[in-house]
């Protein structure tokens, strides 16, 4: 009888392994990734149990369900299989029965998840069969193990094995043809994750593209890296990404879950139907999939690609650690570099970046005009200074000029020695890179690195988190390595060292809006808050803050691409600030400033952290 | 149809960096819309701008290296064998910038020329139909005998820039025999200084008239008089009422 | 009287001086046509010149029967070059051509047939100019004028300076090298002037004696030009439209708004809020994230003027605003601001326009 159980479980396991190999063969049609995929397998248990669990556990109910269901199904099988094959005592069978029983409770929780009411972020379709299949597998095999443990006659065992086998076949079907391939793909994706740095620290920089490669970026599924393809299959459609996505919330034609599912389906000629929420308002793209068939405009709507603000909120929320933004940028690279198919506004910004080294097309010599009254020195090539102040694109904006003047005034008061690059400061290339124009990015980066290398300074300070991210995290791969600090970090340092003394100003409550490129991309969420606590009366938090903060809509070339929306992202964000009872929204990024200042009607005031600090500073 | 696009030095007015002038991008777009092989032609050493022109759709750019009059060099190069169509931007960017080159070339080759071309249509009996763009969105249909020279309107549709094309364009340097020198341009050259335009009574700086809480009829009267004074209503008023 | 207001050059000049002074007022802006609206007494005398020392020719387009602002500036430039000794001959193309050319500063007028195609034009011009043997020929750097000037220079081999930004009798100054450098040199034989660079003639009226146009030499036409198709304001691309009328939050009655735009012959625009609300199509959005205008006049109803919106006004010369808020940003940008409810002003304006027929 034990052999029968082992044959049933082993058969299902072997079939699953065969299914995994079929999937693997498909993923391997993608481009080879750097490093050994096989060697990565040794990391999988740790990545599953620590990193994945860390994200899953943000929702305890989901973590419980997952632990019970996946744990029970797997551990029961792992115990019953050798027990049946080698013959084992009743205790082992009892333990296996217990494990399957736990799995059964897990199946119940899986069922409860969508009954009586399914949360809108969850997909339906084949998922509705999952609790039944899980229950049949666990109950059938659990009873069989129990019967073995108590020494029951053959007939009940056979019936139980039949039930378990039916559940197993159901699970197999869901795995091989349906969404539960997540289980198999997840192992492969975690083994070959394209950002291994995430498991030891932070890894958010885009990788440089080899500009002489025949195919730049991604046009067809086979252009993705093989592990990335496994990553798309690893999506379990939990919908956490779409709940976090600002573009989705604003009604733009992007749903990160649908995007990943589309990319997964794009590999297949006859994919399983997607039963989650689609991208809002996007026409159905019913082109034929296949490894060598175009993705954009065929199975994926163009607007989905350009609506992304690259805010990484989806990546932050994804329990499978899928890299949505990498996929978006890879696709954008294909569209931009290979086809020139970008939105009009983005095309203008890219042309200006190419021809004027400034996405707004303005004269580089006019960047410093905003500081004209403050007489900030310009560092000539060969010169030396303490701090190099990188002004960024915001310097061309009159509103943001107030912020920069506040920062310079504070730096003066603290007695710092600093200078700017003057007309030698080109755009850092952030916009070009996020829009997929890696060629222009690398050209700008080379020029900026050259200008910086020609001067000596202790560190770079910038008020622009986008420039911060590019200079700090993305230039090293291109040969430029400096200490780069955000202005909130610098001011925090000055206040803590006592070089700036602040006196708390009373006034309306202040809510800090985290810039994505400072928070999620660089993990800096505390310094600005410390500053605000020292400078302002009451500080409140919006529901989404810190690493979970919502984007202002200004990143990733969003304003340049200007995708149709139902509401504007900054309007949504301002509404959240209002809901938190904020009288002032504190910002720390020129993009956020412009987007939030663009909200019309009565609303909380928008002030940069530097402005609020300047208002609170007292002579030391 | 074989088209050739004339490429100038290509300097961006704001940054001074190499850039394909808008009109030349439009010319490339027109050439592509006419179909057939499209090449670029530049007198002088090739630069980044010529390579960028490839990004807009030119497969090949020939840089004619030789001293002397560019018109003579071009005329000699274009006469054997002559293409069907020569296209240029509204004016070059980075040199004398007078916009004379296509006209001088047309005169020398004895070809007809049309400027301000917005779109290229079909060819019939050796005549090419084109659409000319006029101010305020007006359009004019015209026909011109081939071979001919067309100057693109700056607002003619521009093809997208594709990096993949720019990196694959073949830029070829062709040594040509020297042409007779051009007469030296007299005068004093210095950095450009923006000069204010003519005197007016109000401008973008603001500081205009403010009329506070007038009666609607009074407001309407003032508004209409102001618009009329600005010349915005002009003679088209009657026509627009009928429309 | 034709009902068309007469220009008074002296009053114009007086208005162009700083108050109480003799120094001309400098404003970083375009010419304001308000000046022409001033009616005044006609200059009494007419200057006649029989045998000038030399001739300077001006080619003037008169699409509406008389030289427009630009045309008068071309004549002004010719007068600068002619000085006291020289005479100015105007070659005029257009319907009912010849009016107002004497006031503009021309001693002689030759009316050319407007139907002359671009290819025949240099030949016709050379024939018309031959009796005068002009020292200089001045044209407007309009699409047509620029084209004629280059054809003329290419045909005749005359030197040309296109796009003069400053002119006196001894030298002309023009940008070269992608507008990054400029060159000052003695005026060339052919010159073209962009708009608002050279002042119109402000002296006493010249004779403007009509001369017989030349016989047009027949050319083998290699170019055939069809009729001009004017664009309807409503269909004009917003970025190209010369006159844009836009609605903001202060506009609720869009039927009046549309009716008004038809009456005024203006292209419709809107603020972002109005487009977001679906009251106007997205393509009508003016601003940094919509269309950046190149219009001459922008008439804003109920628009406060958020920074992103004002960025969309780009080079707009004249802003006219109707808004309830005196402190709105657009009021500071406007040449004429009416602090009133747009909802009340629009019907009043419609009534007035209907009344005037």
Residue written as token pair 């200006």 = A352
The reply to whether A204 falls in a domain is no
Subunits with 3+ Cβ pairs within 8 Å of B are: A, C
Q: Cα–Cα distance between A429 and A449 in angstroms, integer?
A: 11
Q: Cα–Cα distance between B18 and B139 in angstroms, integer?
A: 32
**Distance between B143 CA and the closest CA of chain A, angstroms:** 31
Same domain flag for A158 and A55: yes
Chain C residues lying within 8 Å of A568, measured CB to CB = 276
ipTM of this complex? 0.91
Q: Do C335 and B132 touch (CB under 8 A)?
A: no
- Across the beta sheet with C318-323, the strand order is B209-212, C336-339, C318-323, C297-301, C243-247, C267-270
**Distance between B163 CA and the closest CA of chain C, angstroms:** 24
* A345/C contact by beta carbon, under 8 A: yes
Domain boundary, last residue among A318, A341, A364: A341
Q: Do C307 and A598 touch (CB under 8 A)?
A: yes
Domain boundary, last residue among A494, A520, A550: A494
Q: Cα–Cα distance between A334 and B138 in angstroms, integer?
A: 38
**DSSP per residue, B208-224:** -EEEES--HHHHHHHHH
Q: Cα–Cα distance between A601 and C235 in angstroms, integer?
A: 32
The reply to whether B205 falls in a domain is no
Q: Do C351 and B112 touch (CB under 8 A)?
A: no
The reply to whether B153 falls in a domain is yes
Nearest Cα residue to A396 out of A362, A355, A447? A362
Task: Name the token pair of A517.
Answer: 């490129």
Based on the number of CB atoms within 10 Å of its own CB, is B181 exposed (0-12), middle (13-18) or buried (19 or more)?
Answer: exposed
The reply to whether A202 falls in a domain is no
**Distance between A242 CA and the closest CA of chain C, angstroms:** 23
Considering only alpha carbons, which residue of chain A is nearest residue C307? A598
Same domain flag for A421 and A534: no
The reply to whether B72 falls in a domain is yes
* Radius of gyration (C-alpha) of chain B in whole angstroms: 23
* A568/C contact by beta carbon, under 8 A: yes
Considering only alpha carbons, which residue of chain A is nearest residue B21? A355
Q: pLDDT (tens digit, 9 = 90+) per residue, B86-107? A: 999 988 888 889 999 999 999 9
The reply to whether B116 falls in a domain is yes
* B143/A contact by beta carbon, under 8 A: no
Q: pLDDT (tens digit, 9 = 90+) per residue, A168-184? A: 999 998 888 788 889 88
The reply to whether B24 falls in a domain is yes
Do C234-356 and C44-211 have the same topology in CATH? yes
**Distance between B170 CA and the closest CA of chain C, angstroms:** 26
Give domain limits for chain C.
1-42, 44-211, 234-356
Q: pLDDT (tens digit, 9 = 90+) per residue, B81-90? A: 899 999 999 8
Considering only alpha carbons, which residue of chain B is nearest residue A213? B164
The reply to whether B20 falls in a domain is yes
Q: Is the dihedral of CA A69, A72, A78, A80 positive or negative?
A: negative
Q: Cα–Cα distance between C190 and C313 in angstroms, integer?
A: 35
Domain boundary, last residue among A494, A519, A554: A494
Same domain flag for A417 and A472: yes
Residue B157 lies in domain: 3-175
Same domain flag for A544 and A579: yes
Chain center to CA of A607 = 27
Q: Do A354 and B14 touch (CB under 8 A)?
A: no
Task: For residue A116, say if its preceding peptide bond is cis, omega within 30 degrees of 0.
Answer: yes
Listed by number, the residues of chain A in 326-355 with a beta carbon closer than 8 Å to a beta carbon of chain B are: 336-342, 347, 350-351, 354-355
Chain center to CA of A533 = 29
Q: Cα–Cα distance between A530 and A510 in angstroms, integer?
A: 12
Q: Cα–Cα distance between A111 and A131 in angstroms, integer?
A: 5
* A164/C contact by beta carbon, under 8 A: no
Per-residue pLDDT of chain C (357 residues; tens, 9 = 90+): 444 556 565 665 555 555 555 555 554 333 443 344 444 555 558 889 989 999 999 999 887 678 888 899 999 999 999 999 999 999 998 766 667 888 899 999 998 887 788 898 999 999 999 999 999 999 999 999 999 999 999 999 999 999 999 999 999 999 999 899 999 999 999 999 998 899 999 888 999 898 888 877 666 689 998 888 887 777 788 888 889 999 998 999 999 999 999 888 899 999 988 887 778 888 899 987 778 888 889 999 999 888 778 888 877 888 999 999 888 889 888 989 999 999 999 999 999 988 886
Considering only alpha carbons, which residue of chain A is nearest residue C306? A598
pLDDT reported for residue C218: 63
The reply to whether A349 falls in a domain is no
3-class DSSP string for A500-515? CEECCECCCCEEECCC
Q: Cα–Cα distance between A485 and B113 in angstroms, integer?
A: 59
Same domain flag for A580 and A517: yes
C276 vs A398, A399, A568: nearest CB: A568
Q: φ and ψ at B115, to 5 degrees?
A: -110, 160
Listed by number, the residues of chain C in 60-99 with a beta carbon closer than 8 Å to a beta carbon of chain B are: 64, 69, 73
**Distance between A211 CA and the closest CA of chain B, angstroms:** 9
Same domain flag for A378 and A318: no
* B17/A contact by beta carbon, under 8 A: yes
The reply to whether A326 falls in a domain is yes
- Kindly state the helix (H) or strand (E) to which residue C185 belongs, with its residue range: strand C181-185
Q: Cα–Cα distance between A615 and C35 in angstroms, integer?
A: 48
Same domain flag for A462 and A504: no
Subunits with 3+ Cβ pairs within 8 Å of C are: A, B
Considering only alpha carbons, which residue of chain B is nearest residue C296? B232
Q: What is the DSSP letter of A393?
A: G
pLDDT reported for residue C31: 41
Considering only alpha carbons, which residue of chain B is nearest residue C337? B210
The CA dihedral of A180, A181, A182, A183, to the nearest 10 degrees, is 90
The domain covering C44-211 belongs, at the CATH homologous superfamily level, to HUPs (3.40.50.620)
Listed by number, the residues of chain A in 360-389 with a beta carbon closer than 8 Å to a beta carbon of chain B are: 361-364
Q: Do C183 and B213 touch (CB under 8 A)?
A: no
The reply to whether B29 falls in a domain is yes
pLDDT reported for residue C41: 57
* C322/B contact by beta carbon, under 8 A: yes
Q: Cα–Cα distance between A444 and A168 in angstroms, integer?
A: 56
Per-residue pLDDT of chain B (243 residues; tens, 9 = 90+): 889 999 998 899 999 999 999 999 999 999 999 988 899 999 998 888 999 999 999 999 999 998 889 999 999 999 888 999 999 998 888 888 999 999 999 999 999 999 999 999 999 999 999 999 988 778 999 999 999 999 999 989 999 999 999 999 999 999 998 888 888 888 999 999 988 877 543 344 445 788 888 999 999 999 998 988 887 775 433 333 222
Residue written as token pair 């080899």 = A210
* B82/A contact by beta carbon, under 8 A: no
Same domain flag for A362 and A477: yes
Listed by number, the residues of chain A in 420-449 with a beta carbon closer than 8 Å to a beta carbon of chain B are: 437, 439-440
Chain B residues lying within 8 Å of C226, measured CB to CB = 140-142
Q: Do B134 and C317 touch (CB under 8 A)?
A: no
CATH of the domain at B127: 3.40.50.620
Q: Do B209 and C185 touch (CB under 8 A)?
A: no
**DSSP per residue, C164-183:** -SEE-SS-EEEEETTTTEEE
CATH number, span C234-356:
3.40.50.1220
Number of domains in chain B: 1
The reply to whether B103 falls in a domain is yes
Same domain flag for A502 and A614: yes
Residue A519 pLDDT > 80? yes
The reply to whether A469 falls in a domain is yes
CATH of the domain at A310: 1.10.1060
Same domain flag for A139 and A244: no
Chain C residues lying within 8 Å of A598, measured CB to CB = 306-308
- Across the beta sheet with B139-145, the strand order is B170-175, B60-65, B38-43, B3-7, B85-88, B148-152, B113-124, B127-133, B139-145, C223-229
Q: Do A600 and C308 touch (CB under 8 A)?
A: no
In the structure, what pLDDT confidence band is assigned to residue A45 with cuts at 50, 70 and 90? very high
A597 vs C272, C276, C307: nearest CB: C307
* C231/B contact by beta carbon, under 8 A: yes
Same domain flag for A549 and A605: yes
Q: Cα–Cα distance between A408 and A419 in angstroms, integer?
A: 10
Same domain flag for A472 and A521: no
Residue A463 lies in domain: 355-494
Q: Do B205 and C236 touch (CB under 8 A)?
A: no
Chains B & C: contacts with CB separation below 8 Å: 306
């Amino acid at each position: 009888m034990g052999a029968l159980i082992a044959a049933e479980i082993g058969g299902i396991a072997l079939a699953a392994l065969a299914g995994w190999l079929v999937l693997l063969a498909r993923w391997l049609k993608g481009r080879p990734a750097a490093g050994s995929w096989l060697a990565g397998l040794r990391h999988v248990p740790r990545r599953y149990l620590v990193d994945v669990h860390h994200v899953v556990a943000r929702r305890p109910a989901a973590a419980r369900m997952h632990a019970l269901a996946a744990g029970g199904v797997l551990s029961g099988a792992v115990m019953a299989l050798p027990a049946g094959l080698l013959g084992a005592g009743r205790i082992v069978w009892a333990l296996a029965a217990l494990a399957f029983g736990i799995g059964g409770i897990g199946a119940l929780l899986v069922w409860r998840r969508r009954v009586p009411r399914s949360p809108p972020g969850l997909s339906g379709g084949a998922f509705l069969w999952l609790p039944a299949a899980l229950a049949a597998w666990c109950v059938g095999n659990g009873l069989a193990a129990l019967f073995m443990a108590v020494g029951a006659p053959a007939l009940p065992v056979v019936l139980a094995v039949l039930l378990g086998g039916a559940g197993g076949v159901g699970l197999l079907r869901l795995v091989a043809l349906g969404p539960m391939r997540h289980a198999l793909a997840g192992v492969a994706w975690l083994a070959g994750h394209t950002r291994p740095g995430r498991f030891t620290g932070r890894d958010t920089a885009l990788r440089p593209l080899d500009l002489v490669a025949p195919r730049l970026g991604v046009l067809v599924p086979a252009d993705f890296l093989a592990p990335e393809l496994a990553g798309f299959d690893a999506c379990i459609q939990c919908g956490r990404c779409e709940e976090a996505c600002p573009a989705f919330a604003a009604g733009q034609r992007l749903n990160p879950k649908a995007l990943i599912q589309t990319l997964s389906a794009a590999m297949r000629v006859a994919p399983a139907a997607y039963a989650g929420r689609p991208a809002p308002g996007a026409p159905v793209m019913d082109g034929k999939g296949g490894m060598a068939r175009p993705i954009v405009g065929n199975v994926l709507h163009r607007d989905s690609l350009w609506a992304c603000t690259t805010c990484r909120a989806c990546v932050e929320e994804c329990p499978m650690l899928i890299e949505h933004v990498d996929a978006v940028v890879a696709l954008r690279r294909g569209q931009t570099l290979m086809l020139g198919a970008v939105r009009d506004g983005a095309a203008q910004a890219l042309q200006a970046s190419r021809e004027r080294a400034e996405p707004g097309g303005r004269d580089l010599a006019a960047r410093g005009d905003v500081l004209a009254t403050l007489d900030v020195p310009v560092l000539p090539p060969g010169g030396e200074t303490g701090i190099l102040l990188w002004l960024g694109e915001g310097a061309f904006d009159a509103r943001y000029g107030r912020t920069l003047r506040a920062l310079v005034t504070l730096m003066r008061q603290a007695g710092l020695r600093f200078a700017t690059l003057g007309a030698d400061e080109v755009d850092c290339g952030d916009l070009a890179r996020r829009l997929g124009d890696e060629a222009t990015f690398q050209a700008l980066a080379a020029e900026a690195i050259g200008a910086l290398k020609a001067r000596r300074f202790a560190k770079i300070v910038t008020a622009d988190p986008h420039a911060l991210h590019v200079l700090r995290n993305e230039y090293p791969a291109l040969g430029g390595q400096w200490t780069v600090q955000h202005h909130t970090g610098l001011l925090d340092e000055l206040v803590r060292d006592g070089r700036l003394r602040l006196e708390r100003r009373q006034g309306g409550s202040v809510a800090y809006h985290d810039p994505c490129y400072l928070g999620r991309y660089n993990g800096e969420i505390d310094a600005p808050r410390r500053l605000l606590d020292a400078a302002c009366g009451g500080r409140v938090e919006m529901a989404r803050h810190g690493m979970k903060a919502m984007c202002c809509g200004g990143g990733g070339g969003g304003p340049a691409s200007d995708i149709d929306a139902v509401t504007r992202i900054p309007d949504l964000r301002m509404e959240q600030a209002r809901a938190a009872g904020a009288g002032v929204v504190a910002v720390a990024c020129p993009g956020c400033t412009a987007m939030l200042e663009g909200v019309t009607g009565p609303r909380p005031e928008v002030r940069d952290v530097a402005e609020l600090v300047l208002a609170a500073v007292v002579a030391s | 149809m074989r088209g050739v696009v004339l490429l100038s030095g290509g300097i961006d007015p704001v940054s001074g960096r190499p850039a394909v002038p808008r009109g030349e991008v439009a010319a490339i777009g027109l050439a592509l819309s006419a179909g057939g092989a499209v090449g670029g032609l530049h007198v002088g050493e090739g630069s980044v701008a010529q390579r960028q022109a490839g990004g807009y759709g030119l497969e090949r750019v020939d840089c004619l290296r030789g001293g002397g009059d560019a018109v003579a060099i071009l005329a000699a190069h274009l006469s054997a064998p002559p293409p069907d169509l020569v296209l240029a931007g509204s004016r070059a960017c980075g040199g004398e910038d007078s916009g004379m080159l296509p006209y001088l070339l047309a005169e020398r080759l004895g070809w007809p020329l049309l400027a301000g071309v917005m779109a290229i249509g079909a060819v019939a009996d050796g005549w090419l139909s084109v659409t000319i763009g006029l101010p305020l969105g007006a359009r004019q249909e015209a026909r011109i005998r081939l071979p001919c020279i067309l100057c693109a309107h700056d607002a003619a549709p521009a093809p997208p820039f594709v990096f993949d094309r720019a990196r694959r364009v073949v830029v070829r340097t062709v040594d040509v025999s020297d042409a007779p020198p051009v007469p030296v341009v007299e005068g004093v050259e210095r950095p450009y200084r923006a000069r204010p335009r003519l005197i007016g009574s109000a401008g973008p700086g603001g500081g205009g008239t403010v009329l506070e809480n007038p009666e609607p009829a009074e407001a309407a009267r003032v508004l209409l008089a102001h618009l009329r004074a600005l010349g915005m209503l002009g003679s088209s008023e009657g026509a627009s009422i009928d429309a | 009287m034709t009902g068309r207001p007469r220009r008074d050059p002296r009053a114009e000049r007086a208005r162009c001086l700083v108050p109480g002074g003799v120094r001309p007022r400098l404003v970083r802006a375009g010419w304001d046509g308000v000046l022409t609206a001033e009616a005044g007494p006609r200059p009494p005398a007419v200057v006649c010149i029989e045998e000038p020392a030399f001739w300077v020719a001006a080619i003037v387009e008169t699409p509406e029967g008389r030289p427009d602002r630009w045309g008068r500036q071309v004549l002004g430039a010719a007068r600068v070059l002619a000085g006291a000794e020289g005479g100015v001959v105007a070659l005029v193309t257009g319907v009912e051509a010849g009016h107002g050319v004497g006031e503009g500063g021309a001693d002689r007028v030759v009316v050319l047939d407007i139907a002359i195609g671009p290819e025949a034009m240099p030949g016709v011009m050379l024939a018309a100019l031959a009796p005068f043997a002009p020292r200089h020929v001045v044209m407007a750097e309009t699409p047509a004028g620029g084209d004629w000037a280059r054809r003329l220079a290419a045909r005749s081999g005359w030197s040309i300076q296109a796009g003069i930004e400053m002119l006196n009798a001894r030298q002309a100054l023009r940008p070269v090298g992608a507008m990054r450098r400029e060159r000052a040199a003695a005026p060339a034989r052919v010159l073209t002037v962009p708009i608002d660079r050279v002042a119109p003639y402000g002296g006493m009226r010249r004779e403007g004696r009509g001369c017989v146009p030349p016989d047009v030499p027949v050319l083998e036409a290699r170019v055939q030009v069809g009729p001009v198709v004017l664009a309807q304001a409503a269909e004009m691309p917003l970025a190209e439209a010369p006159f844009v009328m836009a609605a903001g939050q202060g506009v609720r009655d869009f039927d009046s708004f549309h009716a008004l735009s038809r009456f005024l012959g203006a292209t419709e625009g809107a603020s972002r809020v109005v487009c977001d609300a679906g009251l106007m199509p997205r393509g009508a959005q003016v601003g940094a994230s919509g269309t950046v205008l190149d219009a001459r006049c922008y008439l804003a109803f109920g628009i406060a003027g958020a920074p992103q919106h004002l960025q969309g006004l780009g080079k707009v010369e004249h802003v006219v605003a109707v808004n309830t808020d005196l402190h709105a940003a657009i009021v500071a940008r406007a040449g004429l601001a009416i602090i009133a409810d747009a909802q009340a002003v629009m019907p009043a304006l419609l009534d007035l326009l209907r009344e005037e027929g």
